[in-house]
Structures are given as structure tokens and as C-alpha cells.
Chain A
């Protein structure tokens, strides 16, 4: 199966490495910096930190180019097809889920990527956030309609 071959796994490792480096270099690993970006109330006093807008912009541009390159190909290099997200519907789970995530993100300043990358530094209480996040993700899989749940194939 394609997903167990060396080039496929090496690609996953390279991508994860670039992602981790990007989170550190951009300082998305700092929950307090993320919160200072989300703190629009500090704009009048000059205490707002707009840095994170400069993270997502270039990230989207680079990925946009990759998506355009991908459209010229039938398949990615190491698998038989592109795994496009199946749903294109704007429905209640999408909006309710995004809203719940928004509350969590605003409370702690930690989205899933930085949550994982912070394992490198083990700040106090991180394990509480991680265990809760994994538990929430697992619980959420039972809220989803069964058609969106996946079978175990390694």
C-alpha cells in the first residue's frame, strides 16, 4: 500500500519538519503572542501585535501555487490520487465546530499545530490541554454523521 512506502513516509517527515520549523520561526508556538494578535481591543492603545497576519498570508500563497501545480497532474508523486476533502457543504457542523474551536483558541491561544509543537518545550500544564484536545477530538468523531467516519486500514 502506497502509504507505507519509503518515499511516502519521507515526504510526511519532510512536511512535518518544515511545519515544525515554520511554527517556531513564526513564533506561533507562543500562545501569548497568538493572543496578542487576537486582542483587537488593544488596537487603539497600540498594544496590538499584527505579526500573525504575516504568517498566514505567505503560507496561503505558497500552498496556492502548489494547488495550481497539482491541477496539471492526475495524481501526486507518491499516491494514486489527491485526497480532496469530500464535503463542500456549508452546514451546521461546520459553523458550530468552527465556533467551538474559536472559543477554545481565544481562551488559550493554542491551535492544534502549536499544541503539538509545544511538546518540544513542555511548558507547565501543556499535558492538560493536550489530553483534553485529544479527548475532544475523539468525542467529536461520534457527533459526526457515520458517513464521515473512516475505517481502520493502517
Chain B
């Protein structure tokens, strides 16, 4: 199992937790990415800080990969997305469009994603977020098993 990377995972997770902590104690905002970009379009609220956050996120991902290329994808390994499972007969762009659409609608209607419900909601001991996390993890695991996308 050479792909198991618990140390870099825990370090990265701590940085994500710190990101959420800074935004909460500084600005009183939840660092949920679907919420941050989902309120950029009308009916929108407080656009400027959301753009600042997202630009900083992309720029630092880029910089981190340049500074520490040995960690993997984005560094010395090229990033790539999945291919559609051959058995289903869908072209990959269609597969990814459906996945993106479901991710966008689902996180808006369910009011959160892995960061908003998963990190911030569970840390706030929100029962609502716990239900969301159990559902989206469970459904994602079933989806991988059914589609054989890996």
C-alpha cells in the first residue's frame, strides 16, 4: 500500500482546520467552499471577500506545488481527472458534466459540502451536518462501488 500517506494527510488536514479556524475567529464565517462560491452569483451577498478567498486558495495551491513538488499530484505528477467507466458507454466529458452538475445542485440545496458540513459542521457539533456527512459519504461510497469508476 505505497499510496497510503497518513503524515502528509494529517498535516494537510491540520492546515485546512487552521484555515477554517482563522476565518471563524477573524470574520465569523464558515469556511465551506460550496457556500463561499455559491453566493457569488445572484442572489449574492458579500462578493469581495469570497473572491479574495478563492483567488488566494488557487494561488497558494499553485505555489505549494512549486515549493514542494515531491508530495504528488500537481507537483511532480500531472493532475488528471477520472475517465468515465467504459461499461456505461458515456463519453468522459458528459460523465464529468453530470458529476459537476450534481455536486453544484446538491451542495446548494443541502447547504454544504465536505468543508462546510464535514469540517466546520462536525466541529460545531451540528446534528444537521452529521446527517449530511453520513449521507454524502455513504452515497459516494455506494456510487463508487456501483459505477466501478476507480
Contact = CB atoms under 8 A, between A and B. Distances in A.
A100 B113 CA distance: 11
Interface of B: 1, 3-6, 8-31, 33-34, 37-39, 41-50, 52-62, 64-65, 68, 71-75, 77-82, 92-93, 95-111, 113-115, 117-124, 126-128, 131-133, 135-145, 147, 149-150
A32 to B, nearest CB: 7
Main secondary structure of the interface of A (DSSP, over half): helix
Contacts of A53: 9
Contacts of A94: 110-111, 128, 131-132
Interface of A: 3-4, 7-9, 11-33, 35-36, 38-42, 46-47, 49-67, 69-70, 73, 75-79, 81-83, 85, 87-90, 93-113, 115-126, 128-141, 143-144, 148-154
A119 to B, nearest CB: 5
Main secondary structure of the interface of B (DSSP, over half): helix
Contact of B123 (A50, A60, A83, A122): A60
B16 A26 contact: yes
